[in-house]
Structure 1
Amino acid sequence: MKKLLLFLATCLSLVTTSFVSAKDVDYNIRLYWGRLTLNKDNTATFQQDLVYDFASSYNGQYVTLGSAGNVPKGFKINSNPEVKAYEVNEQGKLTKRPIKTKIEQLSDGYRAKVYNGGHSGDRVVLSLKWKLHHVTTIYSDIAELNWTPISDWDAPLDKVVLTVKGPSNSLAVSRFHAHTGYFKKQPKVTQKNGNYEVNIEGLGKNKKLELHAYWKRSDFAAATDKSSKRLSKFQALEAKIARRQKFYPLLVGWLFPMVSAILILISIVLYATWKVVLGQRKTARHMHLFSPPADLSPLILSRYVYDLEIQELSPLKTKRKRYDLGFKQLIQASLLDLIDQGKLVIADDHKSFFVPDWNRLESYEKRFLIFVYGDNKKTMPIDGAFDDYKIDKSIFKGSNETEIRRRGGDILHLFENRMEKLDKAVKNKISSLSLNDIHRERTGEEKTQLILVYFFASTAMLFAFFVGAFALIKGYWLGLGTNLLLLIVASLFLIFYRRKDDYYKVSSLLTQEGLAIKQGWDSFENMIRDIKRFDDVELEGVIIWNRILVYATLYGYAERVQNYLKVKNIHLQNPQMNTYLEINPSYYVGQSTADLSTYTSTATSASNFSVSSGGSSGGGFSGGGGGGGGGAF
């Protein structure tokens, strides 16, 4: 008893606490101390001393010992183990506890269920002594122990100490190995007083500890089980396990990740090749053009050069796609373009627009004003853009489901119908201008190249995912970390490839003529962006400042150009444009455009509105059988 108490006190001082919960019982197992003693007649005793710390009330503990798997022929567990329980006080003194034990026969072993209930804060030592028969397989040269004493514990074991004493005190002609799997740090095995001792700092829930050892045949008096020799096969098996314990972590932690990395690199090379094949070269940022390549209205320009429709840019479409132009900027620039042409006039009160002569408007311009301000309004409040699509979230309160869906559907239909008519009118105008089609479809080679890009990146991502999941199951954190990193990298590249793919789907591919035209507009945009860098001499040729302001608004640089005009004290030739600069209608139109996102979102929700009804073990072992587990209840 003193020896047990001293050992327990020493081990407990080295162990940290990590509680687990099982059916409302919180506990941890601070120490598993096992002692296997082999006898010459091939029987054995197996002593288990288990230290439980409880953080809740409990009814007792249970321990299993099994005979599953590859156990020697004739292996048997005595069904009546000796069971004792002790309570440990704060001074470390052991006090024997009264218990009631129930031994349950399982399909492959026994379970000792010990009833000794208690309360939170208890520390209990459970001691079991099992008698085993035919523990080793006796060959003509050696007796082999291939046994798994730990396999199915319901809680992690904070510290494991297991000693094995052979039938003799000599260890000269014997070998001992302990295994916890290929991906775990192998247990420390030492020789002490003629015994083998295994020490493990932390063994996870349901993790295995397997013992594989041999002693010389002459140490046992029992009959031979098999007349063949076993030593060379034993050594070969352990050598194989040792090699795999080095190779498998290398495979999962480094070699497989290298495969994923190579697949990612291949996808990058293929993507670069795909970009070359597309031939969609970008205009250098230092190239500048000081006047627009053509006098095109913003709506015509966005459709003809950038292949963008209002329907694609509208708030009904996803906001995650990348476009060369923005919806708000296109609306603001189109209004400013009409003001510059004198087709739209700012009223004297500076609060509204009006059209002096509707007959002067092109068909698409009429459709545009109807889309923004409604049908044939004599005056259009500057801050009233998109009021026809206004819908308040209060519609969801106090209205029945049918009315909500009808109202939301009506607004969406009106919005989509006007957009469709506007896009059709713009397309018809481009046709009437006899402009060449500067966009093209993808070739078969380009499609195949992109499929390969996706294939290699996706394969890398899936491969890293499955290898990482395997590493997680095995508790191999290096393998998990490297594969998780590559999983993230592959995912990011896939997102990047998809964004580029979407960009070219939206903007279409340009022909050689189209590339030349777009290069001119890109150079013009560069000039607007860099306008503050030029001196007055360089900008003398830029005499149509009102048109510059229209395109600056379209490209999102309106404020930059307006500030430049103020600093240089430049006044526009068109009085309406000067008025525009003074009252800044773009602010109100921009605010209305932002509100439009809310309107369309609410309308979409309303059109789909319905009342909810409510509702609501791997490798690294030598194949030994047995098994053992336990927990608390």
Structure 2
Amino acid sequence: MTKLNLNKKTIIVFFLIAIAAIAIYGLSRIANSIQVSVKSMDAEITIDGAGNMTIREEWVVRFPTRKSVTFRDIGYGKYDPDDPLYQDLGDTASFDKENVSVKVYDKSRRELRADEYRVGYSFRNDFDEYGQRIVPPKANMETIFVHVYNGMKDEMVFVYNYRILGAVTLYRDIAELNWKLVEYFPMKIARSTVIVNLPSEAVLAWGHGLSNGTVHLEEKSVRFEMKNIAKDDLVEFRILMEPEDFPDVAEKNYISMNMLNTITDYENKLAVETNRRIKVAMVLFYGTFVMTALMAFLMITAYIKYDKEHEPKFTGKYYRELPAEYSPAEMSYLYYFRKINAEDVTATILDLVRRQYLLLDVAGEKMTAKKPDFKLTLNPQKSDLTELLPHERHVVEWFVKTCGNGQEVSFKDIENYPKKNYNNAQTFSRMSRTFVRLAKDAGKKRDFFEVGLDRKKQRLYVALLIPAAYLFISFLIAVPLNLSISFTVVTALVIMVIYGIYVASIDRRSIAGNEDFAKWKAFRQFMLDFGRMKDYPMPGVVIWEHYLVYATSLKIADQVMNQLKVKLAPEELDVPNATFMHLGYRYYGFNLGYVLGRINTSLLTARTNMNTTIVAHHTKKVGAFTGGSGFGRGGGFGGGRSFGGGGGGFRVR
């Protein structure tokens, strides 16, 4: 295996990995879009003088897939083993089992009737839709079960009313509500507003668990505004209040300590950490744009140095003679940037007729036939085909010796050959591919394109380390700080794929090749415009036959013929050395493109018959395999944690 082939395989593997990564990410995003999502979750919480919370929650949930059951898990435990601040195991809260209710509405806010759904509670030992006892997933938690018998509509509204006793902890110098309202849910919550009504004005308040939120201290209330709460985020807040506002707090919820300074110091440290996270996130975000700009600069530099075509010396609009004498297929390889087209087969046949290796004649048909059958015959006076290029010899082998009898072939023979059976169709297809390969091989020998680019492109691939390294560094920075770098990940992967594909596509004509290309382009323009040139002396038919060979590969033969029929009288066509333009001028419906049109029609018909035969063969095999059956169709929030009590979440099935 050569080094070049190894490098190509490495590049292919790299692109497959990058594309797979993007596909996986994209599919995950699509999968998320068809999952249950929470349009909004709003809550109003009222704190009384005993430190109890009365909560009203309103969940607006979208169900793109048919679901029928929801669970609202409500945590009330206050102790968290991960909380670095002092905790008292006796400081507990409880769920008020006597003050809980649920109402369910459809999208139009119509309340569902009692016979349309059922509510169950874990503390009452109720059962779910499968007859299993409703059990909360954690200790110090209760679950509210809702089963809508006919399944959820596209959008449903759930209103929960419940009460938590002993939520507030009272210290000597401050009262604290440190609470997690929700910590898990099906997908992201698009928007949430939580209003906490207090006995008097709050001293301080912080939000935790997510970065996209704001805290507003208002008269006797605190309002938390949140957007785009991710699935792994949680809604957590800490509010400090005057201890005098809670004269009726239970003894178990009183801790005889001064905690104001300890709590504020801890929150200040979290604020510093949050600011650091925000700064790092901004650096990564804007760094992504810098990396993108750098890669764009490198792409522009690569284009200027290795991809931009050389400036040709010839700059004229018209070139009035053949720029070169190589075959039309080789010209096409240069003109269409390494491509060989279907027209090149027709052009090669015409060129062999023009050079009299093949003789073109009527196949003994009447002169009045509307669609006479021409035939191609090997010229016995030019039986030595070794002077031909491999792709030219292949045309003789393909049509005369394979489709014909070895000496001649009619156009109808060419049309019917792939129609006879599957093997013939496969042979015709294989020989078509061989022509393309041989024509490209001939073009490669002309040095039309710059050599040494592969080595230069290997050096350009090194630049892929820039987005790869930036992505790796971003991961190293983001993971410990729990930062989301989705934008950086997608941008880096897309840039790597785009840059890699661009570098792989870098190619340009050599200085000599681009000089020829400029002349061929001007020659093409000349053939399109010569009919309007009053000072242009018309050459004879033999010259135009030579030009038309290349006009065929340049895909302008019809336009050239339309101009020639004005410039050339029919009697000027019948000259001794003419090989194909004169044929058929006495036939019904004759025009100068008569022979060219017949060749194109025959080759198109042959290709159509080839495809039809192959498809029919495979369809028959599939039908036999399947037994003939048919186919179907088918102030911002702070970072870190305050380790508050409560918790729970929202589940569906």
* TM interval, short-chain normalised: 0.5 to 0.7
Q: Could you say if the C-alpha distance between residues 116 and 381 of structure 1 is closer, same or farther in structure 2, counting changes exceeding 3 Å? A: closer
2:451 corresponds to which residue?
442
Q: Which digits, 9 at most, give the CA deviation of each residue in 1:201-256, with x for residues without a partner?
A: 785666422213445789895223879845344234225425644763x4465441
Q: d(CA) in 2 for partners of 1:263 and 1:388? A: 54
2:632 corresponds to which residue?
none
Q: Could you say if the C-alpha distance between residues 211 and 591 of structure 1 is closer, same or farther in structure 2, counting changes exceeding 3 Å? A: farther
Q: Could you say if the C-alpha distance between residues 440 and 154 of structure 1 is closer, same or farther in structure 2, counting changes exceeding 3 Å? A: closer
1:558 corresponds to which residue?
557
| Counterpart residue type for residue 346 of structure 1 | D
Mean Cα deviation higher: 260-269 or 201-210: 201-210
1:84 corresponds to which residue?
100
Task: Please report how far the alpha carbon of residue 260 of structure 1 lies from its aligned counterpart in structure 2 after TM superposition.
Answer: 1.8
Structure 1 counterpart of 2:344, from 311, 323, 330:
330
Structure 1 counterpart of 2:52, from 45, 63, 68:
45
Give SS of 1:292's match.
coil
Within the alignment, does 1:531 sit opposite 2:530 as a pair? yes
Structure 2 counterpart of 1:110, from 141, 162, 187:
141
Structure 2 counterpart of 1:346, from 346, 349, 361:
361
2:169/2:177 contact within 8 Å kept: yes
| Counterpart residue type for residue 353 of structure 1 | K
Structure 1 residues without counterparts, runs of 5 or longer: 1-21, 309-321, 393-406
Give SS of 1:256's match.
helix
Within the alignment, does 1:130 sit opposite 2:164 as a pair? yes
Q: d(CA) in 2 for partners of 1:462 and 1:590? A: 55
Give SS of 1:331's match.
helix
Q: Which digits, 9 at most, give the CA deviation of each residue in 1:532-554, with x for residues without a partner?
A: 56433376699822211222112
Q: Could you say if the C-alpha distance between residues 258 and 353 of structure 1 is closer, same or farther in structure 2, counting changes exceeding 3 Å? A: same
Q: d(CA) in 1 for partners of 2:355 and 2:111? A: 96
1:153/1:207 contact within 8 Å kept: no
1:325/1:555 contact within 8 Å kept: no
2:185/2:650 contact within 8 Å kept: yes
Task: Please report how far the alpha carbon of residue 77 of structure 1 lies from its aligned counterpart in structure 2 after TM superposition.
Answer: 5.3
2:205 corresponds to which residue?
176
Q: Could you say if the C-alpha distance between residues 116 and 149 of structure 1 is closer, same or farther in structure 2, counting changes exceeding 3 Å? A: same
2:268 corresponds to which residue?
235
Q: d(CA) in 1 for partners of 2:259 and 2:326? A: 96
Q: d(CA) in 2 for partners of 1:418 and 1:32? A: 68
2:208/2:237 contact within 8 Å kept: yes
1:37/1:165 contact within 8 Å kept: yes
Q: Which digits, 9 at most, give the CA deviation of each residue in 1:392-421, with x for residues without a partner?
A: 7xxxxxxxxxxxxxx45x754565468759
Task: Please report how far the alpha carbon of residue 327 of structure 1 lies from its aligned counterpart in structure 2 after TM superposition.
Answer: 2.9
| Counterpart residue type for residue 579 of structure 1 | L
Task: Please report how far the alpha carbon of residue 566 of structure 1 lies from its aligned counterpart in structure 2 after TM superposition.
Answer: 1.5
Within the alignment, does 1:358 sit opposite 2:376 as a pair? no
Q: d(CA) in 2 for partners of 1:66 and 1:562? A: 89
Within the alignment, does 1:577 sit opposite 2:568 as a pair? no
Give SS of 2:122's match.
strand
Task: Please report how far the alpha carbon of residue 583 of structure 1 lies from its aligned counterpart in structure 2 after TM superposition.
Answer: 5.9
Once the two structures are superposed, the pairs formed by residues 174-323 of structure 1 within 5 Å of their partners are 174-179=203-208, 181-182=210-211, 184=212, 186-193=213-220, 195-200=221-226, 207-215=233-241, 222-224=255-257, 229-242=262-275, 244-245=277-278, 248=281, 250-251=282-283, 254-275=286-307, 281=311, 286-298=316-328, 301-302=330-331, 306=333, 323=337
Q: d(CA) in 1 for partners of 2:504 and 2:612? A: 25
Q: Could you say if the C-alpha distance between residues 359 and 594 of structure 1 is closer, same or farther in structure 2, counting changes exceeding 3 Å? A: same
Q: CA RMSD in A?
A: 5.5
Give SS of 2:75's match.
strand
1:621 corresponds to which residue?
639
Within the alignment, does 1:587 sit opposite 2:597 as a pair? yes
Task: Please report how far the alpha carbon of residue 481 of structure 1 lies from its aligned counterpart in structure 2 after TM superposition.
Answer: 8.3
Give SS of 1:198's match.
strand
| Counterpart residue type for residue 183 of structure 2 | S
Q: Could you say if the C-alpha distance between residues 623 and 413 of structure 1 is closer, same or farther in structure 2, counting changes exceeding 3 Å? A: same
Give SS of 1:49's match.
strand
Q: d(CA) in 2 for partners of 1:413 and 1:353? A: 21
Q: d(CA) in 2 for partners of 1:295 and 1:94? A: 88
Mean Cα deviation higher: 221-230 or 364-373: 221-230
2:96/2:165 contact within 8 Å kept: yes
Task: Please report how far the alpha carbon of residue 175 of structure 1 lies from its aligned counterpart in structure 2 after TM superposition.
Answer: 1.5
2:5 corresponds to which residue?
none
1:412/1:600 contact within 8 Å kept: no
| Counterpart residue type for residue 349 of structure 2 | L
Q: Could you say if the C-alpha distance between residues 323 and 294 of structure 1 is closer, same or farther in structure 2, counting changes exceeding 3 Å? A: closer
Task: Please report how far the alpha carbon of residue 169 of structure 1 lies from its aligned counterpart in structure 2 after TM superposition.
Answer: 3.2
Q: d(CA) in 2 for partners of 1:450 and 1:164? A: 62
Within the alignment, does 1:385 sit opposite 2:389 as a pair? no
Once the two structures are superposed, the pairs formed by residues 449-528 of structure 1 within 5 Å of their partners are 449-456=456-463, 495-501=501-507, 510=510, 521=520, 523-528=522-527
Q: Which digits, 9 at most, give the CA deviation of each residue in 1:379-400, with x for residues without a partner?
A: 53335436433477xxxxxxxx
Structure 1 counterpart of 2:73, from 63, 67, 75:
63
2:43 corresponds to which residue?
33
Q: Could you say if the C-alpha distance between residues 594 and 486 of structure 1 is closer, same or farther in structure 2, counting changes exceeding 3 Å? A: farther
Q: d(CA) in 2 for partners of 1:93 and 1:514? A: 77
1:371/1:415 contact within 8 Å kept: no
1:371 corresponds to which residue?
398
| Counterpart residue type for residue 649 of structure 2 | G
The percentage of counterpart residues that share the same residue type is 14
Q: d(CA) in 1 for partners of 2:450 and 2:69? A: 74
Give SS of 2:409's match.
strand
| Counterpart residue type for residue 196 of structure 1 | V
1:101/1:115 contact within 8 Å kept: no
Task: Please report how far the alpha carbon of residue 423 of structure 1 lies from its aligned counterpart in structure 2 after TM superposition.
Answer: 7.3
Q: d(CA) in 1 for partners of 2:182 and 2:73? A: 11
Within the alignment, does 1:567 sit opposite 2:566 as a pair? yes
2:376/2:409 contact within 8 Å kept: yes
Give SS of 2:237's match.
strand
Task: Please report how far the alpha carbon of residue 565 of structure 1 lies from its aligned counterpart in structure 2 after TM superposition.
Answer: 0.7
2:206/2:215 contact within 8 Å kept: no
1:27/1:52 contact within 8 Å kept: no
Task: Please report how far the alpha carbon of residue 562 of structure 1 lies from its aligned counterpart in structure 2 after TM superposition.
Answer: 0.9
Give SS of 2:218's match.
strand
- The TM-score, its normalising length taken from structure 2, stands at 0.64
1:290/1:542 contact within 8 Å kept: no
1:552/1:558 contact within 8 Å kept: yes
Give SS of 1:578's match.
coil
| Counterpart residue type for residue 176 of structure 1 | A
Task: Please report how far the alpha carbon of residue 283 of structure 1 lies from its aligned counterpart in structure 2 after TM superposition.
Answer: 6.9
Q: Could you say if the C-alpha distance between residues 224 and 448 of structure 1 is closer, same or farther in structure 2, counting changes exceeding 3 Å? A: farther
Within the alignment, does 1:549 sit opposite 2:548 as a pair? yes
How many aligned residue pairs are there?
542
1:241/1:620 contact within 8 Å kept: yes
Q: d(CA) in 2 for partners of 1:159 and 1:520? A: 64
Give SS of 2:346's match.
helix
1:391/1:603 contact within 8 Å kept: no
Instruction: Name the structure with the higher strand share.
Output: 1
Q: d(CA) in 1 for partners of 2:323 and 2:120? A: 96
Q: Could you say if the C-alpha distance between residues 38 and 169 of structure 1 is closer, same or farther in structure 2, counting changes exceeding 3 Å? A: same
Q: Could you say if the C-alpha distance between residues 141 and 271 of structure 1 is closer, same or farther in structure 2, counting changes exceeding 3 Å? A: farther
2:37/2:188 contact within 8 Å kept: no
| Counterpart residue type for residue 450 of structure 1 | K
2:182 corresponds to which residue?
150
